[in-house]
Structure 1
Amino acid sequence: MRRSHVVDALCSLAMLAAVGAAWWLATKFGWVSRVFLPSPAIAFDSLADGLANGQLLAFTLATLGRMAMGWFLASLLGIVLGAWIGSSPVARAWIEPTLEFLRPLPASALIPLAIAVFGLSAGMVLAVVAIGAMWPVLLATSHGVASVHVRLKEVTAALQLSRMDYLLKIGLPNAMPDILAGMRLAMTVSLIVSVVGEMVASQPGLGQAVLLAARSFQSGELFAGALLLGLIGFTSNVILAVAERRLLRWQRP
């Protein structure tokens, strides 16, 4: 491990320790009521008890499954549609303005429409997750495929490659850094939308667990769910970052 990486890791740990210390001090000296902010010990005890004896583990697995399935569908749709749009100047001219109009639309804004179509069901949450998380992958793939160097396009024309061969051998490999970055962002969006969808549609998951704990003023359970969500987001990002480095080893000098 390089020295800079060690320094970055130590700084991150120091910041985490500072946040934990501030949390402990706030509860120790009563700066914030424990009704709303439990001590770290209570939160971690609730987390351990919920995973061992309660429904927290089942809720966690439900959220993980929903997030992973939505992310997979979003990545698949985003890569396919992005490759088609990025490889076709006509498609970009016609569709990109619409994409730029839809891109800033929050995924949660689609929930009322999804409820009207699918009802308050698990399918509704999955559809919103997939559609909401698709945009980073779609836009990244389209940009990566469209930004192929002009010399490579000339080689494609000289070799008379089909559109599919061009995408598989030149377009998608050139877009791989953009695609992987888009997939990492899509994973975060998938987690956020999964939690919001579980809250709205009353589907089993960490979103429902956190909402029920907040409504019953069970601050320990509330923070236990929040800690789990943070851990899931951090772990998934680390896994994708490691996969990205391995897949892009050919780019390093």
Structure 2
Amino acid sequence: MASVAVLLLFILLWHFVSVTRLVPATFLPSPTATYKALSNGFSRGQLSASTASTVWRMLVGWGLACLVGIALGCLIGMSERARAYLAPMLEAIRPLPTSALIPVFIAIFGLSEGMILGAIAFGAIWPMMLATINGIAGIDPALRDLAKSLKMSTLAFLTKIALPSAMPEIMAAIRLGLTVALVLAVVGEMLSGRTGLGQWLLVSARSFATPNLFAGVVILGVIGFTANTCLQLFEARVLRWRQSAR
């Protein structure tokens, strides 16, 4: 209820500022104008096509990052030697902003779908890979000793002890990775000129169609909120055993 009240208060404040012209309508359209832009965009199919394209790219790039990031995280996290050799390199690459590396992806893939998906996967992979490595490396030594006493295989230790123990960190990184994927999908669409909310925002800004611009921002907010809520529900189900064990 508190979040709903804050949202309503924000809309009322937005309406007040737009009605009183504290900010010119050229830069801040009213909520009504933004709603009309949303309605027209969806009724004509342009906004729905742009939304579908962005969501598809976000999910595909994020899915690739999940598969590769968690798999690499398991391989590195299970080996102390691999962590010792690769940790410095990973820490050196991790801070590099993916948006600054997009020209590299353009040089490799051109202004193609592969460029956008590659940039998304590269940017979203780091939270999941590092969270998996740190989660597995930080397992209680008593659990490792238990696995040795039971003569568990590496695969059994990974699936029955390591991954369940690291799951809280991995789930948090998965949610962060999805946010990164959404941002990079928009940036990639702006640079490549392909259909999507990024291109919608860019065209709207260049033509000073601020109601359309704000309509795109609203859609991005809804996508981000919906995706995060779904992952939170999934996380609660996956980690239910952890709560019942306490």
Please classify the TM superposition score into its range, dividing by the shorter chain length: over 0.9
Q: Once the 2 structures are TM-superposed, how far is the Cα of residue 161 of structure 1 from its aligned partner?
A: 2.4
Q: Does 1:39 align with 2:20?
A: no
Distance in 2, Cα, partners of 1:175 & 1:203: 38
User: What secondary structure sits across from 1:105 in the alignment?
Assistant: coil
Q: Does 1:199 align with 2:193?
A: no
Out of 156-165 and 40-49, give the one that drifted further: 156-165
Query: Unaligned 5+ residue runs, structure 2?
Result: none
Q: Once the 2 structures are TM-superposed, how far is the Cα of residue 157 of structure 1 from its aligned partner?
A: 1.8
Q: Does 1:81 align with 2:61?
A: no
Question: How many pairs does the alignment contain?
Answer: 244
Aligned-residue RMSD, C-alpha: 1.0
Q: Once the 2 structures are TM-superposed, how far is the Cα of residue 251 of structure 1 from its aligned partner?
A: 1.0
Q: Which amino acid aligns with 1:234?
A: F
Q: Once the 2 structures are TM-superposed, how far is the Cα of residue 159 of structure 1 from its aligned partner?
A: 2.7
- List aligned pairs for 1:1-253, cutoff 5 A: 10-253=1-244
Q: Which amino acid aligns with 1:22?
A: L
User: What secondary structure sits across from 1:252 in the alignment?
Assistant: helix
Q: 4+ residue runs of structure 1 moved beyond 4 angstroms?
A: none
Distance in 2, Cα, partners of 1:41 & 1:98: 51
Query: Unaligned 5+ residue runs, structure 1?
Result: 1-9
Q: Which amino acid aligns with 2:103?
A: P
Distance in 2, Cα, partners of 1:227 & 1:169: 42
Distance in 1, Cα, partners of 2:227 & 2:84: 35
User: What secondary structure sits across from 1:79 in the alignment?
Assistant: helix
User: What secondary structure sits across from 2:96 in the alignment?
Assistant: coil
